[in-house]
Chains A and B, each alone.
Chain A
Amino acid sequence: MIQTHHLSRRYGPKLALSDLSLRVEPGEILGFLGPNGAGKSTTVKILTGMIRPTSGSALVGGFDIVQQPIEAKRKLGYVPESAAVYDGLTAAEYLDLVACLHHLDPKVAQARRSELLELFDLLEVEDQRMTEFSKGMRQKVLLASALIHRPEVLFLDEPLDGLDANAALVVKEVLKQLAAQGKTILFCSHILDVVERICTRIVIINNGQQIANGTSAEIRETTGTASLEQAFSKLTGVKDVGTVASEFIAALEKA
């Protein structure tokens, strides 16, 4: 379970996140949407204990992420948008490190590592350093590392980024099955049709504030639009995309 209570974060004078209160229940996949710089990554960083909120509180897996960070972090798995890994390690070594940090029994860790690497088609390259990996392969390692300790709560920031179509299908199916097992999943993505297809509920934030919360159908109905894409554009105040594109082309030609 994820629960935030009046969560805010300030970077100097800029308010990146303002008074966010949300609750994600076990078994739910929450689509967390917003334009660039809306405060999505700030929210996820707070919920994963990477930064502290300026005010408010958050519970992850039943633990306060500020007061009990280690306990909360034991319950969560995270795929960061930055795709940061120690790329001098092999995929197997990296998964072993993460397993070690979560105090998994070595035999259990090895079995799960093999399962996950096989699932993501990486078993053949498990002893290859990740400096040699493509973006998609690194993303698969990150997904495997987020799952190896069987976390209760998953934070996925653009998890399909770089994945080929087959791997993306596998990941989407894995997420559905994990949710069916009662895991709590927060899913950040800019690919709206994927969000629409796999998320049970959607929250949209803009300028650090929550501006929509409901199922895709509810949001479409509230905004009076035909698709989630149109609803998103309307809610986040984007001008007509045709006009924006024309202005852009005109600026290029002028330069």
Chain B
Amino acid sequence: MPGARMIPRFFAALGIDYAQWLALTKVALKLDWRQTSLGGSRYRARRGSRAAIISQLIFYGIFGFFMAFVVWQGTDVFLVGLVLTSYVFFIVGTAVLIDHNSALTSATDYGVLAFQPVSSRTYFAAKLANVLVYTLAITTVAAFLPIVALFVVHGAAIGFAGVAAIYGISLATALGMLTGYAWMLQRIGADALKRALSYVQLVMSFAIYGGYFLMSKSVVSNLATAKVQKTPWLLLYPGAWFSSYLDLAAGTWSTFDVGLAITSLVLLGVLAAGLGGRLSLDYSARLAALAATPVKQKKSRAARSGGARLEWWHRSGEARAMAVLVRSQFRNDQRFRLTVLGVLPLTLVYVFMGVRDGTIVDPFVPPPAGHGAHFSLVTVAVLMFPSLLKISLSQSESFQAAWVFFASPTDRKRIIQSSKNALVTFFLLPYLAFVAALYVYFVHNVWHVLLHVLFLGLLSHLLLQLMVLLDPELPFSRPWQKSRNSGMLFGFMMVIFVAAALLQVFGPEMYQSVATIGVVLGVLVGTSIIVDLLTRARIAGQAHSLEFEG
């Protein structure tokens, strides 16, 4: 068949060995599939977690259902497009940040492939194909219902334009972020590479979450009027460029829309050309440098006195071990660090949005009559932060080192509880201090703030305990599983939003008297103790069946 011969020739023109590319892509997808529960890996077999993927489908389905509802209600097709592209931008951006941040820097690939006759272009093309298969699959699942709604409500022309816009923004988001990672790998010396990748991760996280929330705020305010004000600011937002396809298809376009559409095509062209240039990158040498170069760490005064502090704060041997492990994994495990840095900006963006919306108010003062309770994103941020970190705490590329928990006379309950406590010590408490300072600045009543922050802290800790109860895994003891973290993150965020909304409604009632405050705090502490006991019982029950997975 002439077509069959065309493909290898096309790849050869790009400097890619088609046979090798195909073999590497198939193997990468096969390995990813087998790491998921449906692939039947022995790592997850005992957990019966076929539910992991099914729950992701459900979460994406629920999100998709809401989006389909917006499409159904929307009359301004540009606004509808903006909602959909923002939604896909967020979903794909988060998936790349959380699940594919190390796609271009796999130490395993280096060990297996660096001595094989595979060119850097072929290797890079295979990695690119792997990430794009994932992001386009996620896009398909997440956007299926809105696309159906688009076809039904607005007709075929707008439906196809919507498909182009959705896949266009998905492709642009993934390619843009991969270009960022590749650019960094190419430009930065090996000694600074690990640190530089962290900064890139932070910047991209802020861009994805910040861009999404600013845009969603704008979309929500526009939904009331059902019409988008096409200001020059929209030129700054890639989602708007792709949304213009819908206006073009509807025949309601202006010169502004044409400009946006052309910009979107230029963006895709620039990204494709940019990645084409990156294809010449010598990955073998770069990966070797990354693998061989330790992160230079200045021994600070805090680090020198850290040993004594650890002994004072973490009394048992297990607790001290976990404190050291979590801290050092954050410094040295590139994947864990990038995942944490992919989550951190989300909480800071929420705080920023809370400040911007004026929802940091005295929680003891009820809202004025006729006004609903303020929904505070700061509350959401405090509740979700430690639990989001817990999601990635049990996975590591060096999971085989977890034999030490099985072969040493350690108390498994203490290990798991201590890893949770390390999250509280290193992440939750500093974050609460930051939030308390912010509240004091806006509210001025220190006692109200301290009580409110205490309440939020206890609640956040309780949620973290519930996460541990649901998934009482030893830290860093499981292999990484693609798409698991982002899927759990989306699901957990939904739960937190519901909890935060309830809190805003009942919060002022709770703060009405000392008695109610006492009762609520007492209930929180009591529940926390019960959950702790349940967790201990669950871990003890599991101890007989848990085995080392390396």
Contacts and interface: CB of A to CB of B under 8 A. Distances in A.
Interface in B14-71: 19-20, 22-24, 27, 30-31, 34-35, 41-43
B284 A88 contact: no
Interface in A54-99: 69-71, 73-74, 76, 78, 80, 82, 84-86, 88-89, 93, 96-98
Contacts of A97: 23-24, 27
A45 interface: yes
A179 to B, nearest CB: 21
Interface string B87-117: 0000000000000000000001011111111
Given A76-B115, A86-B31, A50 B110 contact: yes
B404 interface: no
Interface stretch (A100-108, A162-170, A228-236): A100-108
A199 B292 CA distance: 30
A97 B29 CA distance: 13
| B contact patch SS | helix
A11 B117 contact: no
Contacts of B111: 80, 82, 84
B477 to A, nearest CB: 15
A221 B446 CA distance: 84
B347 interface: no
Given A11-B292, A45-B288, A88-B30, A101 B117 contact: yes
A88 B34 contact: yes
Nearest to A101: B116
A153 B284 CA distance: 20
Contacts of B115: 48-50, 73, 76, 78, 80
Interface residues of B, number: 31
A38 B308 CA distance: 37
A140 interface: no
B285 interface: yes
Closest 3 CB pairs of A and B: A84-B111, A100-B23, A73-B117
Contacts of B379: none
Nearest to B22: A100
A159 B112 CA distance: 16
Contacts, number: 80
Given A97-B23, A101-B23, A89 B118 contact: no
Contacts of B41: 88, 131
Interface of B: 19-20, 22-24, 27, 30-31, 34-35, 41-43, 108, 110-119, 191, 284-285, 288-289, 292-293
B27 A50 contact: no
A12 interface: yes
A49 B19 contact: no
B27 A93 contact: yes
Nearest to B40: A129
Interface of A: 11-12, 45, 48-52, 69-71, 73-74, 76, 78, 80, 82, 84-86, 88-89, 93, 96-98, 100-103, 129, 131-132
Given A45-B288, A80-B111, 7 more contacts: A48-B115, A69-B117, A88-B31, A98-B116, A101-B117, A102-B117, A129-B42
A85 B27 CA distance: 12
Contacts of B288: 45, 50-52
A65 to B, nearest CB: 10
Nearest to A70: B117
Contact of B108 (A52, A84, A102): A84
Nearest to A146: B115
B32 to A, nearest CB: 9
B292 A70 contact: no
B31 A50 contact: no
A51 B292 contact: yes
Given A93-B27, A103-B19, A70 B112 contact: no
Nearest to B549: A131
Contact of B27 (A71, A86, A132): A86
Nearest to A149: B117
A201 B31 CA distance: 42
Residue from B22, B43, B111, B114 with most neighbouring chain A CB atoms (10 Å) = B114
B108 A100 contact: no
Contact of B191 (A12, A73, A85, A96): A12
Nearest to B43: A131
Given A70-B117, A86-B108, A97-B23, A49 B31 contact: no
Given A12-B191, A82-B111, A89-B27, A74 B285 contact: no
